[in-house]
Structure 1
């Protein structure tokens, strides 16, 4: 499962953009439940990687959001409200959105959530490091995949953010 935590950038000096993004995501990802979790933040749970990519890139395109993606298990049964959800993917999404705040030009991060695994941040260790060889501890399950997904999404996110209004008109 995928949990997205999306936090508004500069909310203390800006208008509340959460209702607008919620309406956009309802059109973009029909059937998915996104809702305000606290203050200027929203959260949703998705099952499709394609929907995760579409959602993340849509938020990045807008330019007003930090995007945290948590990948992993969620406690079942999944409640009707994402705010009531729990499990490693929820914890990972929280860690990811906090890392996204320090990410620089593309404010996005991906974290793998696993039971009992210390979370060090997908980007804190290069992909391929810690494979168990030479006494280096193996990466927790999913960490390499999360780091790879983050790298690709940041590359695409950079392109998305840098398009002008005229370029978006052509794309749309």
Structure 2
């Protein structure tokens, strides 16, 4: 199983982002959540995830704003699962704590701790996060429109710019690179999980 422990950066000098993060994690995790996200200690959000696609979607969403240090722990959890993530225990939770502590010191604000293969997965996820960190506001504007499932032509119409200008934004933002990398990364992350989510 995967456990994400995320800590709000500079929380003493900024607004409480935990409620919005919990809602966003729920939305991006969908049916892949094993235990619902909750505020844990202070300005932390913790969630247990049973699906690699959901895991990656949550990690990419949390790292996008630059306001969260995101630790991913992989490993066994005690079974049966409790009703609350705050009551759950196991190797994945210990590894998530290690990962979030390391994420706080990383430029890309993310780390992965796993029994085997975590370093490779972490390096690849960090590459993708670094690519996204370089994206301009215009690039994100196109990203968000295309994420709705519309075409580049439709995005151009909405933005009031030419289709060629949209294509340039897509290229500069590395959107096609990310599009190819996400499913490959999800497969790498899936290989880290020790087995099915316990009942």
Could you tell me whether the CA contact under 8 Å between 2:7 and 2:69 is conserved in 1? yes
Tell me the matched-pair count. Answer: 141
> Which residue of the partner structure matches residue 110 of structure 1?
112
Structure 2 CA distance, aligned partners of 1:23 and 1:164? 25
Residue 166 (structure 1) shift: 1.4
List per-residue Cα deviations over 1:82-122 (Å, max 9, x = no partner).
1111000000000100011111x20111111xxxxxxxxxx
How does 1:5-154 map onto structure 2 within 5 Å?
5-31=5-31, 32=33, 33-103=36-106, 105-112=107-114, 141-142=115-116, 145-154=117-126
- Whether the 8 Å contact between 1:8 and 1:65 is mirrored in structure 2 is yes
Match 2:127 to one of 155, 161, 166: 155
Q: Distance in 1 between matches of 2:20 and 2:135?
A: 21
Deviation at 1:23, TM superposition (A): 1.2
| Bigger fraction of residues in helix | 2
* Structure 2 stretches lacking a partner, 5+ long: 145-199
SS at match of 2:30: coil
Q: Distance in 1 between matches of 2:77 and 2:85?
A: 10
Residues 27-83 of structure 1: CA deviation (Å, up to 9, x unaligned): 212243111011100000001111111111111101100000000001011111111
8 Å contact kept, 2:30–2:54:
no
Within 2, Cα distance between the matches of 1:154 and 1:28? 19
- Structure 1's unaligned 5+ residue stretches are 113-140
Q: Give the deviation of 1:160 after TM superposition.
A: 1.7
Q: Residues 6 and 71 of structure 2 are in contact (CA less than 8 Å); yes or no, is this contact kept in structure 1?
A: yes
Match of 1:134 in 2: none
> Is the CA contact (8 Å cut-off) linking 1:60 and 1:160 kept in structure 2?
no
